[in-house]
Amino acid sequence: MTAKSIQRNTLLAQRRALSQEQRKKWNEQIAQKTLQWCSDFPNNFPNKHRLTCVGIYNPIQAEPDLHAIYPALIAMNIILALPIAPKKDHPLVFVAWKPGEALMKDRYGVLIPTNTKAIVRPEVLFIPCVGYNQRGFRLGYGGGFYDRTLATHPETLAVGIAFKNCLCDLIESEHDIAMKCIITNDE
């Protein structure tokens, strides 16, 4: 087992060990900060226009859950897009999706839209982190999908989503791409 694999397993176990009450509180804090980040987008990125499309995710393995803010994002006229991993070693493809639309499990057990034809290119990707470091690099599940996606679309803003207790001394690899910022809970 590699050092990254050991670190990943430790962080995943730590995340799964959170109580329901703690997870709910932290999810609410992260969701509200994420919504505020979207609201502040034009002020923070004056060279960009209003935010029109964001890449979201369906949480797996006790990841932070942003579902509570999806209706508010839609009310802001922001298109939500879920990732699809078309093939191993390829970048992700994002498909427009609204809460309530049909989902199915992909080969990794991740819920994806059944309608895969509404392909969009988000300006911002909210990316779940298994772990992250002070420099904004993230540890994922090891598939490299987000790094390949960001390398293909360097203009896309990458925003990590993580529980604060997942801050770690992450060993960066040459293909890793830093997040623009990491949104975490308060505690």
Q: Supply the CATH number for residue 179's domain.
A: 3.40.50.10420
Tell me what pLDDT residue 43 has.
Answer: 78
Q: What integer pLDDT is reported at residue 74 of this predicted model?
A: 97
> What is the count of structural domains for the chain?
1
Contacts of 126 (CB under 8 A, 6+ apart): 34, 54, 55, 56, 57, 66, 159, 161, 183
Per-residue pLDDT of 85-118, as tens digits, reads 988 889 999 999 999 999 999 988 889 999 888 9
CA atoms within 13 A on the CB side of 28: 5
Mean pLDDT, to the nearest integer, of 168-175? Answer: 87
**Interval 40-69 mean pLDDT:** 88
Q: Which domain holds residue 110?
A: 3-183
DSSP assignment letter at 101: S
CA atoms of 69 and 28, how far apart (whole Å): 9
pLDDT at 46: 66
Amino acid at 180: K
Dihedral sign from CA coordinates of 180, 148, 56, 168: negative
At residue 19's C-alpha, the angle toward residues 14 and 20, to 5°, is: 125
